[in-house]
Structure 1
Amino acid sequence: MSDSLNSPSPTDWVLTLSCVDGPGIVHAISGAIVAAGGNITESQQFASVDTGRFFMRLEVEQVTDQATFEAALAPVTERYDMTWRLDVVGRPVRTLILASTATHCVNDLLYRKRGGQLPIEVPLVLSNHQTVRDITEFNGVPFEHLPIASPADKAAFEARVLEAVAEHDIELVVLARYMQILSPELCEALSGMAINIHHSFLPGFKGANPYKQAHRRGVKLIGATAHFVTTDLDEGPIIEQDVVRVDHSQSPAELVALGQDEESRTLRRAVTWYAQNRILLDGDRTIIFR
């Protein structure tokens, strides 16, 4: 048997990093990768003039284990005081989905996941209503229902969220139209790892029936916003937004259908980019390496 057949296959790694901007960063990190025997197959970078920070995402072909590769990168990451992460390209991210009565986002995520189009693994869907049970179980995902009818119920639900995060080694929590406001304590616990989706009318048309409100006002654009969850309600760093043009001929029900389609599509993109390590935080905004 030839040596090429006996030799280990290379692993495709994704490296993301950020640090204070300055000269020599790209040269230093590239040199460390080459010295470790790595081959850079994709590279994107951005220097923020607003915050003075540098951001980079690389995909690297390398024949080694993660600990060895991290050790090779350590001198450079320490020299520039980098915040960084090394992961395997395409590794499914362990994701907890929170839901309520709306089915469209849960259905889209589980369908794409089942078809291999979304790089996530979903060990649990947790909901305060039974509505998404059939969709969840059809896709072979465990479903858990915890009703919320009182403050004590809400506290129990949030405690179960944290328990599930620890139990299943969750890396991402998706609020797939979960219609409960998270407590500040849970927001802090899930900082940087929880994504929410909602219609794009905010801060206008708050409360119940936003599409009816929008229809009465004759809006010409509707859409959706996906963002990280923070203690400031619906004001976390924006990951993705999308819109569709509408006119006077569309009924409120048609606006809802169009809006739900945009919500599903926008949330799917945000989850995909998170799972692919394409999102880096720059203060109150995000850097997206598409």
Structure 2
Amino acid sequence: MKNKPSYILKVSCPGRVGIVAAIGNFMADRGCFIKELHQFDDLDSGRFFSTIEFVFEGERTFSVEQLKAAFEVTALRFEMDWEIHDTTERAKVLIMVSKYDHCLRDLLYRRATGELHIDITAIVSNHEDLRGMAEHEGIDYIHLPVTKETKPEQEARLLEIVESTGTELVVLARYMQVLSDSLSKQLAGRCINIHHSFLPGFKGAKPYYQAYDRGVKLIGATAHYVTGDLDEGPIIEQMVDRVNHSHDALRLTQIGRDMEAQALARAVKYHVSHRVFLNGLRTVVF
């Protein structure tokens, strides 16, 4: 079964007795071999979350669509929100950038090596600086300059691009524009942002220089889903590193950029691998 294509069943529902048994019996009855199973019961919210990766054992006599139709009975019984995904299919991802290139470079590298199983539908930017990088990879580069006056028009254009390309996930790879509340709502659960996260937090220009001036001892990066509340969406991944008085502002910036790239790549990987659940203001990540 090593070389057989695998599928992921993603489930969330109210927690109650018998969910895992029902899923397991359903799979066994149809010759599905479970390769990996994760589950979590959130006792605070009363919800159950699970991902089940499986392959078909032996010769299959029915289609995946027929499997989905049959599972609907179990799903209705337990009031499930559920999806079944083919792991061989690449997720369609649109990347948004401004002038910083470190996160984009990292995503392109991980895509090239196969670590990120994605197809990049386009790179959208409010500047022209990174066009060469996109064109070198053979990826469409779309320049959407943003001013206060043009922002509604350009956001509408962005949504048209998302729709026309079949984009499933939008990644803000150091895109230095705040999305409107309306756009944030329309992209809810399918738009990931990366930003620095310090203790204390530093907003505005040159955060690493502000951190240096305050003599911080920890710096970090946070990848999260975008919401209308700036940099306060459900967190998917975080990284921190200890620094000290010998690190100047330039060195802090270098360390910070490395963590930003890593945290963003991990968040994208978790999302496109169907391992992330929204759980109110929080996430469950398997």
Amino acid in structure 2 at the alignment position of 1:34: A
TM-score by length of 2: 0.95
Partner residue in 2 for 1:6: none
Matches within 5 A, 1:1-290: 10-62=4-56, 63=60, 64-148=62-146, 150-201=147-198, 204-289=201-286
CA distance in 1, matches of 2:63, 2:105: 36
Deviations 1:115-138 (Å, cap 9, x if unpaired)? 211111101000001111111111
Indicate if the aligned counterparts of 1:33 and 1:73 stay in contact, CA closer than 8 A.
no
Does 271-280 or 67-76 show the bigger shift?
67-76
Q: Which runs of 5+ in 2 are unaligned?
A: none
Q: Deviations over 1:48-94 (max 9, x none)?
A: 01101000000010244321110121111111110111001242110
Deviation at 1:37, TM superposition (A): 1.9
Structure 1 Cα separation of the partners of residues 200 and 247 of structure 2: 22
Aligned partner letter, 2:32: G
Opposite residue 73 of structure 2, the aligned amino acid is: P
Letter of the 1:197 counterpart: I
Alpha-carbon distance in structure 2 between the residues aligned to 1:186 and 1:247: 40
Q: In 1, Cα distance between the equivalents of 2:111 and 2:149?
A: 33
1:132 to 1:65, Cα distance in 2 relative to 1, 3 A? farther
Partner SS, residue 213 of structure 1: helix
Q: CA deviation at 1:203?
A: 6.7
Once residues 55 and 162 of structure 1 are traced to their aligned partners in structure 2, the CA distance between those partners, rounded to angstroms, is 30
* TM-superposed deviation, 1:215: 0.3
The alpha-carbon deviation at position 179 of structure 1 amounts to: 0.8
| Structure 1: segments with no counterpart, 5+ residues | 1-8
For 1:85 and 1:144, the matched residues in 2 are separated by 32
Q: Give how far 1:160 is off.
A: 1.7
Separation in 1, partners of 2:80, 2:33? 21
Q: CA deviation at 1:11?
A: 3.2
* Residue type at the aligned position of 1:20: P
Q: Distance in 2 between matches of 1:86 and 1:236?
A: 26
User: SS where residue 232 of structure 1 aligns?
Assistant: coil
